[in-house]
Amino acid sequence: MNIESIVAQARAEGRSLLSEIEAKEVLHEAGVAVERAVLATTIEAARTHAEQIGYPVVLKIVSPDISHKSDIGGVKVGLEDADAVTAAFDEIMRNAKAAVPDANITGIAVQHMAPQGTEIIVGMTTDPQFGPVVMFGLGGIMVEVMKDVSFRIVPVSERDAAQMIDEIKGKAILDGVRGQPPLDKAAIAKAILAVSEFVEHNPDIQELDLNPMMVYAEGAIAVDARIALSG
């Protein structure tokens, strides 16, 4: 499905938030490296998808009524085989129903589990003065506690993307500390530029987060994605 029809469907359903599966689909089409997710409504379907995607996999609840998936036990990671998928599927459903009894549950998303890398965030927000703005920062504690992020106004040029990456205080981490190889800054820049281009051409988008995105010595991939449409 393309962005127009996904946005149209969300609007028709009165949603301003795309589901994770939808968000990842449109980002994938826009050329952003994401771990795509497939919806399963039954255990059998989840097992089939897991076989096709390849283990290990992650299962996550999909529900318009549940936004903080991890908090209610709606996410299971590191599932290595079909039995683990079966057990996780049941558990997630039980947890979701216990936490939000009235929740409308769409199903469960199955995705490949990307190996642990250095976590970064690439995001976009709509500034009241300047309009769409792209943000970059290191993930986890660096972004939450240190607020170590950089911004640029859309459209972002290659020069801007390179500066955003170099501007953060924790940039030494990207250059490789304690004998670690340097991380793939070109892959980060590519994600920043792809997000900029995507939001530039889709003014419906109010906010967007790739959080976290895993960066490696070679390559980078977003493992979670969130897109909010303008009101």
**Contact footprint for another protein (CB under 8 A):** 121, 123-131, 133, 135, 137, 143, 147, 149-153, 159-160, 163, 167, 207, 209, 211, 228
Which residues, 6+ apart, have CB-to-CB distance to 129 below 8 Å? none
Cβ–Cβ under 8 Å, residues 146 and 155: no
Q: Closer to another protein by CB, 125 or 202: give it.
A: 125
Least separation in angstroms between residue 150's CB and another protein is 7
Q: Closer to another protein by CB, 58 or 195: give it.
A: 195
Least separation in angstroms between residue 217's CB and another protein is 26
Q: Closer to another protein by CB, 37 or 133: give it.
A: 133
Q: Closer to another protein by CB, 47 or 190: give it.
A: 190
Least separation in angstroms between residue 201's CB and another protein is 16
Q: Closer to another protein by CB, 157 or 180: give it.
A: 157
Least separation in angstroms between residue 165's CB and another protein is 13
Least separation in angstroms between residue 65's CB and another protein is 19
